[in-house]
Every structure is written in structure tokens, then in C-alpha cells.
Chains A and B, each alone.
Chain A
Amino acid sequence: MIEVRNISKHFGSTVAVQNVSFDVARGEVLGFLGPNGAGKSTTMRILTGYIPPSEGSARIAGHDLLEDSLAIRRRIGYLPENAPLYGDMEVVDFLRFVGTIRGIPPGEMRERIARMVKLCGLEKVVGRTIQHLSKGYRQRVGLAQAMIHDPDILILDEPTSGLDPNQIMEIRELIKELGREKTVILSTHILPEVSATCGRVLIVNEGMLVASGSPEELGAGLEGGGLLRVQVRAPSREVLDEKLRDAEFVTEHVFTKEADGDLHHLTIRGVDARGLGERIFRLVVENGWSLAELRLEGATLEDVFRRITRGEEA
């Protein structure tokens, strides 16, 4: 859906983006992760046709970025950073304005707006002037305008900034939902967001792409990735040992200490870090044992991020 090739952008002597290439497939949710000023927004502005790259090229939905910007813009829904909106307009008028420019036929407009209002939870504020809305509502209005024409591609620059925890959860759910059919690129500097919503992550720092992969891959790429520390109450060590050996989702298990009576201490490594804890839990329950402790050890995305962007040793 999106093919980015060697894109660079400099403003005078400052380099904002340097030689970035990546692909995004249909139905993929791609997260752009990086500290503030890493070039996330600039890359998004380039993809949405707001500014051209200094070098490099990109094809989006089969169209060339520089030659067919208008066709690309029709297929993209874009939420710029901080959700800039026309403060003096009412929410419904604003959505109608964007919808009209997006070419939604007048006959369908009412229904489309109603759908967006429902999807983004704007029922209480449709008739309100945008400048009087809270940050959370503004952000949701921004999302609504980005999705009103049902675009194939959504580009969201920090979609959850300024939202409260409940709203963040809602928006993440929404993005995951959308990601099933649409291509979504979102940027954030909040790490749990990426693990929660994205299938793939690009970590950018100082304008350069420094790592990419699924959140699990990036975590597992480090020593100690996906390691579970477990304490199980089970009658015999042999049975426990055998069951873990038979479980296909466990790649490695080690008894770390002598058992305290029937309490066994282990570390377990899995094929897939995601859901490993849950599977272990189920295994324990199925066998009628009990779980005294279950803790994920080692590298999270946070560690990866910190290490890569600061060049620290783990």
C-alpha cells in the first residue's frame, strides 16, 4: 500500500529525515516510535503531501507521491499533530466542511456524520463550537474528520495525546479495529501504545530509521526478552518438568532454585512472548496446580527504545 524509498528532508542545514525507507501493507498498523523531534511528524507530512521530500520517492496506493499528490490525498485520512481544527466552527459544520471537500455526496452526508459521531463518541458535543471543547474531544473530532470519507490509509500523528486513560483505551481499540481493513500509520512517543496497537514498529531517532520489527521481535532481540519468572505450587517436580517439556509454546524452562516444599521456582522462555503468561497460567490451572508468581522479566519495548535512542548498554 505504501512504499517509501530513501526519503530525506532537510530544512536549511538541519536534517529532519535521513534516508528512510519502509513498506506498509494493507491491513497493517505501523507504529512510528521515537523521541520528540526524531522526524516522525516530518515523515508523515511528506506522506500526506503537505511538504515534499528533499530526496527520495514514495508510492502510495499505486500513485507517485510527487506526481499524483491529489489522488493520494483523496485516499488518505490525516490527523496532524495536536489536532489543529477550526475553532470557530461547530463540530457538525466542521465535519460537513471536510466531508464536502472529501467529495461525500450531499445525500449521504447526514448519515456519514452520524456514523463518525457515534464511532468517535461525539454525541454530546456535535452542536458545540470546537474552541470550547476539551483536548480529548478535539482529538476525537480530529479523528472523525480523518475517517469521514472512509479512507484506505489513515495517518495519525500522536492520536492519543491529550486524552485521559479511558479515552486512550477507546482510541486504541478503535485503531485496532480500523487496522483490520485499513492501513494505519501512527506516531507516538508513548511506548505501551505501540505494543497495544501496532503490528509493526519503526523506531526513528534523529531522522534515521534505527530499528524495525514487531513489538515482540524488538523485545526478544535483546537478552532476556520474553522471559517469565514463575513460582508454581505443584505436588511433584517431575510432572511439572514433563508437562512443560510437552507444551509446544515453551522453548526452554529452568528450575532456578531448590523447591520450598511444593513451591517450585522456574524461568520459562516461550516461542511467542505475547500470551505466554496466559498459556502458562492455563497449563497450571488445567493440572490443578496453583500459581504463586508470574512475572515478565527482561526486555520490554521500553528497554529497546531507550537503548537504541540513547545508545545505552542494557
Chain B
Amino acid sequence: MSNIRTITAKEFRSYFDSPIAYIYITFFLVLSSWLFLRGFFLVGQASMRGFFGILPWLLLFFVPAVTMRLWAEEKKLGTIELLMTLPVKDHEVVLGKFLASFSFFFVTLALSFSVPLVISILGDPDPGPIWGGYIGAVLLGASFLAIGLFISSLTENQIIAFIIGITLTFVLFILGEEFVVYNAPRAVVPLLKHLGLGAHYDSIGRGVIDSRDVLYYLSVVVFFLYLNVRTVESRKWK
């Protein structure tokens, strides 16, 4: 347990040891606020629907950028050898890295809370969808992070980790969208709808928090973290 905490703390700090964290956070906040506020005044409604509509598409780029470094750099610089010969279990390292990237993501998302504050000054928004939207964003973000972290463990090239990360999260995100399932065989449609990362996000975003949706995201996280442990272990395959 304490190993996980140590690794989380170290990885979290290393975001802020370089300018990367500040660049990410600025990029994320400026882009999300700008894209949202552009339409906000035209619609003239005190609601964050627009914000949470844009958010997944931003996370698609933002999250792989946050996770791409976590394993790829260790492999490239050889520090993975140092790390994995310390008395730590593979899953502790995977969890530590995940929690660090999650904390960083959480901080960034929390900073965007200025948006609902401004809206509640301007008008009287319904708090349900806002909280729902944030909970959905946290869960969706966690899934993206687990996927991005897993992809990072497959390569020592950060750019490749970034591109593949975007691609995979994109594919999983649109899996349940209407235009994807439209041409799919009828038998797999419910499955695709269930597996798609996007559909669950939409239902949570309406302010209806269904335990099945939460469970779905948690299982996506667990599944990709498990794959990650396996790839880290793969150096031990004979």
C-alpha cells in the first residue's frame, strides 16, 4: 500500500517538476472554456450541456498526452530496470502510475469548476446535470487514463503512445454511437451500445447516476490496468 502511495506521489510531482503540467492545464482550460463559451452566449441558457458535450472530444487528446510518458519514458531511458528491481510488485507500480495520472486529471478537471461558478452567477442552472456531468467526466477520464497508460506500456516511443492512445480511446468512445451501430449486424448492436464508452457518459450526464454505468466504467479501468500489469510482466516471459 505504501509503495503505491510513494510511486503515486513521485509520478504526480514529476508532472509539476517540468513545465508539462502547466502547459496541459492551460491548454485544457483555455480550450474547453473557449469552445464552450463561444456557443454559450448564443444559446443564452444557464446550462453546462455544451461543456460536457465538448469534454469527451477534448479528453480524447488530453488524456493520452497525460499518460503517454508514464511507461514509454521509463522504457526509453532504462529507468524501468531500476524501478522494477526495487522491492515493488508490478501491480503496485501500475496502480501508482494510474493514481498519479488520475490525480493530475482530477486537479485539471477541478480547475474547470470556475465555469459552473460563473454560470451560477449569470443565471440559475440546474445543479443535477452539472454534478452528473462532472461525475461522468471523472469516470470517462479514468477509463481513458487506464487505456492510455496501457498503451504507453507497449512502446518506448511517447509519440506512438500518444497517437495509438487517441486512436484506441476514439474507437472505444464511438463504438456505441448511432452511425457506428447502423451498419453493424443486429445481433451485436446491444453489445456495441453497451461497450461504447460514450453511451454511458451521456446517461450519467443527464444527472441520472445508474450503478450499472458506474460499474461499467470501473470494469473498463480494472480491465486495462490488468492488461497493463500483464504487459509489465511480459518481460518475465521465457
Instruction: Report if A and B associate in a common complex.
Output: yes
Pick from A73, A82, A129: contact of B78, CB below 8 A: A82
Chain B residue at minimal CB-CB distance from A75: B87
Give the distance in Å from the alpha carbon of A78 to the alpha carbon of B87 in the complex. 11
Give the distance in Å from the alpha carbon of A76 to the alpha carbon of B81 in the complex. 14
User: Contact string, A75-88, partner B, CB cutoff 8 A, digits 1/0?
Assistant: 01010111011111
Q: Chain B's nearest CB lies how many Å from the CB of A10?
A: 9
Pick from B78, B80, B86, B236: contact of A101, CB below 8 A: B86
The reply to whether the CB of B14 lies closer than 8 angstroms to some CB of chain A is yes
Beta-carbon contact of B238 and A101 below 8 Å: no
Q: Which residues of B contact A51 (CB under 8 A)?
A: 235-236
Q: Which residues of A contact B2 (CB under 8 A)?
A: 100
Give the distance in Å from the alpha carbon of A45 to the alpha carbon of B79 in the complex. 13
Beta-carbon contact of B82 and A85 below 8 Å: yes
Pick from A74, A80, A84, A88: contact of B87, CB below 8 A: A74
Task: Report whether over half of chain B's contact residues are helix, strand or loop; otherwise say mixed.
Answer: helix
Beta-carbon contact of B85 and A76 below 8 Å: yes
Q: Which residues of B contact A311 (CB under 8 A)?
A: none
**Given contacts A100-B6, A101-B6, are A48 and B85 in contact (CB under 8 A)?**
yes
Give the distance in Å from the alpha carbon of A82 to the alpha carbon of B78 in the complex. 9
The reply to whether the CB of B124 lies closer than 8 angstroms to some CB of chain A is no
Pick from A52, A97, A100, A102: contact of B238, CB below 8 A: A52
The reply to whether the CB of A266 lies closer than 8 angstroms to some CB of chain B is no
The reply to whether the CB of A251 lies closer than 8 angstroms to some CB of chain B is no
Q: Which residues of B contact A97 (CB under 8 A)?
A: 6, 10
Chain B residue at minimal CB-CB distance from A9: B238
Q: Which residues of A contact B81 (CB under 8 A)?
A: 45, 50, 80, 84
Within 8 A of A (CB), among B77-105: 77-82, 84-89
Number of contacting residues on A, CB 8 A? 30
Pick from B3, B14, B86: contact of A88, CB below 8 A: B14
Give the distance in Å from the alpha carbon of A80 to the alpha carbon of B79 in the complex. 9
Beta-carbon contact of A73 and B85 below 8 Å: yes
Give the distance in Å from the alpha carbon of A312 to the alpha carbon of B87 in the complex. 44
Give the distance in Å from the alpha carbon of A25 to the alpha carbon of B77 in the complex. 33
Q: Which residues of B contact A129 (CB under 8 A)?
A: 17
Give the distance in Å from the alpha carbon of A231 to the alpha carbon of B218 in the complex. 84
Pick from B10, B78, B86, B89: contact of A84, CB below 8 A: B78
Q: Chain A's nearest CB lies how many Å from the CB of B208?
A: 43
Beta-carbon contact of A80 and B17 below 8 Å: no
Chain B residue at minimal CB-CB distance from A55: B238
Beta-carbon contact of A50 and B86 below 8 Å: no
Give the distance in Å from the alpha carbon of A49 to the alpha carbon of B236 in the complex. 9
Q: Which residues of A contact B85 (CB under 8 A)?
A: 48-50, 73, 76, 78, 80
Chain B contacts to A: CB under 8 angstroms? 2-3, 6-7, 10, 13-14, 17-18, 77-82, 84-89, 235-236, 238
Complex A-B: 29 CB contacts under 8 Å? A45-B81, A48-B85, A49-B85, A50-B85, A50-B235, A52-B236, A54-B238, A70-B87, A73-B85, A73-B86, A74-B87, A76-B85, A78-B85, A80-B85, A82-B78, A84-B77, A84-B82, A85-B79, A86-B14, A89-B10, A89-B14, A101-B3, A101-B7, A101-B86, A101-B87, A102-B86, A102-B87, A103-B87, A129-B17
Chain A contacts to B: CB under 8 angstroms? 45, 48-52, 54, 70, 73-74, 76, 78, 80-82, 84-89, 93, 97-98, 100-103, 129, 145
